[in-house]
Protein backbone atom coordinates (compact mmCIF):
# COMPACT_ATOMS: atom_id res chain seq x y z
CA UNK A 1 0.00 0.00 0.00
CA UNK A 2 1.23 3.49 -0.88
CA UNK A 3 2.75 5.30 2.11
CA UNK A 4 0.75 8.47 1.47
CA UNK A 5 -2.48 6.46 1.38
CA UNK A 6 -1.51 4.72 4.61
CA UNK A 7 -0.82 8.07 6.23
CA UNK A 8 -4.17 9.46 5.08
CA UNK A 9 -6.02 6.42 6.42
CA UNK A 10 -4.18 6.75 9.71
CA UNK A 11 -5.12 10.43 9.99
CA UNK A 12 -8.73 9.62 9.10
CA UNK A 13 -8.96 6.88 11.73
CA UNK A 14 -7.32 9.08 14.35
CA UNK A 15 -9.75 11.90 13.63
CA UNK A 16 -12.76 9.55 13.90
CA UNK A 17 -11.68 8.47 17.40
CA UNK A 18 -10.62 11.89 18.66
CA UNK A 19 -12.84 13.27 21.45
CA UNK A 20 -12.10 16.85 20.33
CA UNK A 21 -12.67 16.70 16.55
CA UNK A 22 -15.93 17.99 15.06
CA UNK A 23 -16.43 14.61 13.32
CA UNK A 24 -14.66 12.63 16.02
CA UNK A 25 -15.47 9.98 18.61
CA UNK A 26 -19.01 11.20 19.36
CA UNK A 27 -19.98 10.78 15.70
CA UNK A 28 -18.33 7.37 15.46
CA UNK A 29 -20.15 6.10 18.54
CA UNK A 30 -23.43 7.67 17.43
CA UNK A 31 -23.32 6.07 13.99
CA UNK A 32 -22.38 2.70 15.50
CA UNK A 33 -25.31 2.84 17.94
CA UNK A 34 -27.65 3.87 15.12
CA UNK A 35 -26.58 0.98 12.88
CA UNK A 36 -26.82 -1.60 15.66
CA UNK A 37 -30.22 -0.32 16.79
CA UNK A 38 -31.59 -0.27 13.24
CA UNK A 39 -30.30 -3.79 12.63
CA UNK A 40 -31.91 -5.00 15.86
CA UNK A 41 -35.23 -3.38 15.04
CA UNK A 42 -35.22 -4.75 11.49
CA UNK A 43 -34.48 -8.25 12.74
CA UNK A 44 -37.29 -8.19 15.32
CA UNK A 45 -39.78 -6.60 12.93
CA UNK A 46 -38.94 -9.13 10.23
CA UNK A 47 -39.45 -12.00 12.67
CA UNK A 48 -42.83 -10.64 13.77
CA UNK A 49 -44.05 -10.12 10.20
CA UNK A 50 -42.85 -13.59 9.16
CA UNK A 51 -44.40 -15.30 12.19
CA UNK A 52 -41.03 -16.59 13.40
CA UNK A 53 -40.71 -18.62 16.64
CA UNK A 54 -40.41 -15.43 18.69
CA UNK A 55 -44.13 -14.82 18.08
CA UNK A 56 -44.96 -18.08 19.85
CA UNK A 57 -42.70 -17.03 22.71
CA UNK A 58 -44.62 -13.75 22.76
CA UNK A 59 -47.94 -15.55 23.22
CA UNK A 60 -46.64 -18.04 25.79
CA UNK A 61 -45.03 -15.33 27.91
CA UNK A 62 -48.08 -13.06 27.67
CA UNK A 63 -50.38 -15.88 28.82
CA UNK A 64 -48.07 -16.85 31.69
CA UNK A 65 -47.78 -13.26 32.94
CA UNK A 66 -51.51 -12.70 32.66
CA UNK A 67 -52.23 -15.82 34.69
CA UNK A 68 -49.98 -14.60 37.50
CA UNK A 69 -50.96 -10.92 37.34
CA UNK A 70 -54.38 -11.56 38.89
CA UNK A 71 -52.83 -13.05 42.02
CA UNK A 72 -50.77 -10.04 43.15
CA UNK A 73 -52.88 -6.93 43.67
CA UNK A 74 -50.08 -4.82 45.19
CA UNK A 75 -47.68 -5.42 42.31
CA UNK A 76 -50.39 -4.90 39.73
CA UNK A 77 -51.41 -1.59 41.31
CA UNK A 78 -47.80 -0.39 41.47
CA UNK A 79 -47.22 -1.22 37.82
CA UNK A 80 -50.46 0.50 36.86
CA UNK A 81 -49.15 3.69 38.47
CA UNK A 82 -45.82 3.30 36.68
CA UNK A 83 -47.44 2.71 33.31
CA UNK A 84 -49.79 5.69 33.75
CA UNK A 85 -46.83 7.90 34.63
CA UNK A 86 -45.26 6.94 31.29
CA UNK A 87 -48.37 7.42 29.18
CA UNK A 88 -48.28 10.17 26.54
CA UNK A 89 -49.41 12.99 28.91
CA UNK A 90 -47.12 11.73 31.67
CA UNK A 91 -44.02 11.53 29.48
CA UNK A 92 -44.69 14.93 27.93
CA UNK A 93 -44.98 16.39 31.44
CA UNK A 94 -41.74 14.70 32.52
CA UNK A 95 -40.04 15.95 29.36
CA UNK A 96 -41.20 19.48 30.11
CA UNK A 97 -39.83 19.23 33.65
CA UNK A 98 -36.53 17.89 32.33
CA UNK A 99 -36.37 20.73 29.80
CA UNK A 100 -37.00 23.29 32.55
CA UNK A 101 -34.26 21.71 34.68
CA UNK A 102 -31.81 21.85 31.77
CA UNK A 103 -32.74 25.47 31.10
CA UNK A 104 -32.08 26.38 34.74
CA UNK A 105 -28.68 24.74 34.46
CA UNK A 106 -27.83 26.89 31.45
CA UNK A 107 -27.88 23.94 29.04
CA UNK A 108 -30.22 25.54 26.52
CA UNK A 109 -29.19 23.46 23.53
CA UNK A 110 -29.78 20.31 25.59
CA UNK A 111 -33.19 21.70 26.53
CA UNK A 112 -34.12 22.29 22.89
CA UNK A 113 -32.82 18.86 21.93
CA UNK A 114 -34.91 16.97 24.49
CA UNK A 115 -38.01 18.93 23.43
CA UNK A 116 -37.44 17.63 19.89
CA UNK A 117 -36.15 14.15 20.71
CA UNK A 118 -38.91 12.80 22.95
CA UNK A 119 -42.04 14.13 21.21
CA UNK A 120 -40.48 13.47 17.80
CA UNK A 121 -39.71 9.88 18.71
CA UNK A 122 -43.25 9.38 20.00
CA UNK A 123 -44.68 10.60 16.69
CA UNK A 124 -42.32 8.24 14.85
CA UNK A 125 -43.62 5.39 16.99
CA UNK A 126 -47.22 6.13 16.03
CA UNK A 127 -46.19 5.90 12.38
CA UNK A 128 -44.51 2.57 13.09
CA UNK A 129 -47.63 1.23 14.80
CA UNK A 130 -49.74 2.07 11.76
CA UNK A 131 -47.12 0.54 9.48
CA UNK A 132 -47.15 -2.88 11.18
CA UNK A 133 -50.75 -2.85 12.52
CA UNK A 134 -50.12 -5.62 15.04
CA UNK A 135 -53.01 -6.47 17.35
CA UNK A 136 -52.63 -6.31 21.13
CA UNK A 137 -52.48 -9.47 23.25
CA UNK A 138 -55.98 -10.86 23.71
CA UNK A 139 -57.36 -12.22 27.01
CA UNK A 140 -60.83 -13.15 28.19
CA UNK A 141 -60.40 -10.99 31.31
CA UNK A 142 -57.89 -8.27 30.36
CA UNK A 143 -56.36 -5.95 32.92
CA UNK A 144 -56.16 -3.15 30.35
CA UNK A 145 -58.54 -2.66 27.45
CA UNK A 146 -56.66 -1.03 24.56
CA UNK A 147 -57.73 -0.45 20.97
CA UNK A 148 -54.49 0.92 19.49
CA UNK A 149 -51.85 -1.17 17.74
CA UNK A 150 -49.22 -3.06 19.69
CA UNK A 151 -45.91 -2.95 17.77
CA UNK A 152 -43.68 -1.25 18.90
CA UNK A 153 -44.53 -0.28 22.49
CA UNK A 154 -45.13 3.46 22.80
CA UNK A 155 -44.52 3.53 26.57
CA UNK A 156 -41.18 1.76 26.13
CA UNK A 157 -40.09 4.05 23.30
CA UNK A 158 -40.93 7.12 25.38
CA UNK A 159 -39.04 5.79 28.41
CA UNK A 160 -36.03 4.89 26.26
CA UNK A 161 -35.93 8.38 24.80
CA UNK A 162 -36.50 10.25 28.06
CA UNK A 163 -34.15 8.30 30.32
CA UNK A 164 -31.65 7.66 27.54
CA UNK A 165 -31.42 11.38 26.83
CA UNK A 166 -30.98 12.28 30.49
CA UNK A 167 -28.29 9.60 30.78
CA UNK A 168 -26.47 11.14 27.78
CA UNK A 169 -26.49 14.54 29.46
CA UNK A 170 -25.46 13.28 32.89
CA UNK A 171 -22.71 11.04 31.50
CA UNK A 172 -21.37 14.00 29.53
CA UNK A 173 -21.11 16.08 32.71
CA UNK A 174 -20.15 13.40 35.24
CA UNK A 175 -16.65 13.68 36.70
CA UNK A 176 -15.85 9.99 37.16
CA UNK A 177 -16.39 6.70 35.35
CA UNK A 178 -18.30 5.13 38.27
CA UNK A 179 -20.73 8.05 38.17
CA UNK A 180 -21.17 7.65 34.41
CA UNK A 181 -21.80 3.92 34.80
CA UNK A 182 -24.30 4.64 37.56
CA UNK A 183 -26.35 7.01 35.40
CA UNK A 184 -26.40 4.55 32.51
CA UNK A 185 -27.45 1.73 34.84
CA UNK A 186 -30.23 3.85 36.35
CA UNK A 187 -31.56 4.73 32.89
CA UNK A 188 -31.54 1.06 31.88
CA UNK A 189 -33.40 0.08 35.06
CA UNK A 190 -36.11 2.68 34.44
CA UNK A 191 -36.60 1.55 30.84
CA UNK A 192 -36.77 -2.09 31.89
CA UNK A 193 -39.30 -1.28 34.61
CA UNK A 194 -41.57 0.48 32.14
CA UNK A 195 -41.18 -2.31 29.59
CA UNK A 196 -41.84 -4.92 32.27
CA UNK A 197 -44.98 -3.12 33.41
CA UNK A 198 -46.38 -3.25 29.88
CA UNK A 199 -45.69 -6.97 29.66
CA UNK A 200 -47.10 -7.73 33.11
CA UNK A 201 -50.30 -5.79 32.47
CA UNK A 202 -50.88 -7.59 29.18
CA UNK A 203 -50.53 -4.48 27.02
CA UNK A 204 -47.70 -5.79 24.86
CA UNK A 205 -45.76 -8.79 23.66
CA UNK A 206 -42.06 -9.24 24.42
CA UNK A 207 -41.08 -8.41 20.83
CA UNK A 208 -43.06 -5.16 21.08
CA UNK A 209 -40.92 -3.81 23.91
CA UNK A 210 -37.63 -5.12 22.48
CA UNK A 211 -38.33 -3.42 19.15
CA UNK A 212 -39.33 -0.25 20.99
CA UNK A 213 -35.98 -0.16 22.81
CA UNK A 214 -34.15 -0.53 19.50
CA UNK A 215 -36.29 2.14 17.86
CA UNK A 216 -35.75 4.52 20.77
CA UNK A 217 -31.97 4.01 20.72
CA UNK A 218 -31.85 4.65 16.97
CA UNK A 219 -33.83 7.90 17.16
CA UNK A 220 -31.94 9.03 20.26
CA UNK A 221 -28.60 8.52 18.51
CA UNK A 222 -29.79 10.54 15.50
CA UNK A 223 -30.92 13.49 17.64
CA UNK A 224 -28.11 13.62 20.19
CA UNK A 225 -25.31 12.91 17.70
CA UNK A 226 -26.75 15.28 15.12
CA UNK A 227 -26.99 18.22 17.51
CA UNK A 228 -23.55 17.51 19.00
CA UNK A 229 -21.97 17.37 15.54
CA UNK A 230 -23.68 20.59 14.46
CA UNK A 231 -22.49 22.44 17.56
CA UNK A 232 -18.93 21.17 17.18
CA UNK A 233 -18.91 22.16 13.51
CA UNK A 234 -20.16 25.66 14.32
CA UNK A 235 -17.49 26.02 17.02
CA UNK A 236 -14.77 24.79 14.64
CA UNK A 237 -15.88 27.21 11.91
CA UNK A 238 -15.90 30.09 14.39
CA UNK A 239 -12.40 29.14 15.56
CA UNK A 240 -11.12 28.98 11.97
CA UNK A 241 -12.69 32.35 11.18
CA UNK A 242 -11.11 33.92 14.27
CA UNK A 243 -7.74 32.42 13.34
CA UNK A 244 -8.01 33.74 9.78
CA UNK A 245 -8.91 37.22 11.07
CA UNK A 246 -5.97 37.30 13.46
CA UNK A 247 -3.63 36.02 10.75
CA UNK A 248 -4.83 38.70 8.33
CA UNK A 249 -4.40 41.47 10.87
CA UNK A 250 -0.86 40.40 11.81
CA UNK A 251 0.87 41.56 8.54
CA UNK A 252 -0.90 44.94 8.62
CA UNK A 253 0.23 45.46 12.19
CA UNK A 254 3.81 44.62 11.20
CA UNK A 255 3.61 47.07 8.28
CA UNK A 256 2.40 49.88 10.53
CA UNK A 257 5.28 49.28 12.92
CA UNK A 258 7.77 49.37 10.04
CA UNK A 259 6.34 52.65 8.74
CA UNK A 260 6.56 54.24 12.18
CA UNK A 261 10.18 53.21 12.58
CB-based contacts of 116: which residues, under 8 Å, 6+ apart? 223
Is-contact 171 183, C-beta < 8 A? yes
CB-based contacts of 208: which residues, under 8 Å, 6+ apart? 58, 134, 150, 151, 152, 153, 156, 198
Catalytic residues: 155, 204
Backbone angles phi, psi at 151, to 5 degrees: -115, 125
Quote the DSSP letter at residue 73: H
CB-based contacts of 191: which residues, under 8 Å, 6+ apart? 156, 159, 160, 163, 164, 213
Round to whole Å and give the CA distance between 14 and 8: 10
Amino acid sequence: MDKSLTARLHRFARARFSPEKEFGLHLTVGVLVLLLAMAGFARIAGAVVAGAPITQLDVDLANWLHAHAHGNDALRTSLMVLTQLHSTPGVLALTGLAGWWLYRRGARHWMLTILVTVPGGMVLNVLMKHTFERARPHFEEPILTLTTYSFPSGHTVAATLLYGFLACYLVRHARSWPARAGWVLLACVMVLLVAGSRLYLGAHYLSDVLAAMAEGCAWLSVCVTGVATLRRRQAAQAARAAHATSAASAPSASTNLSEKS
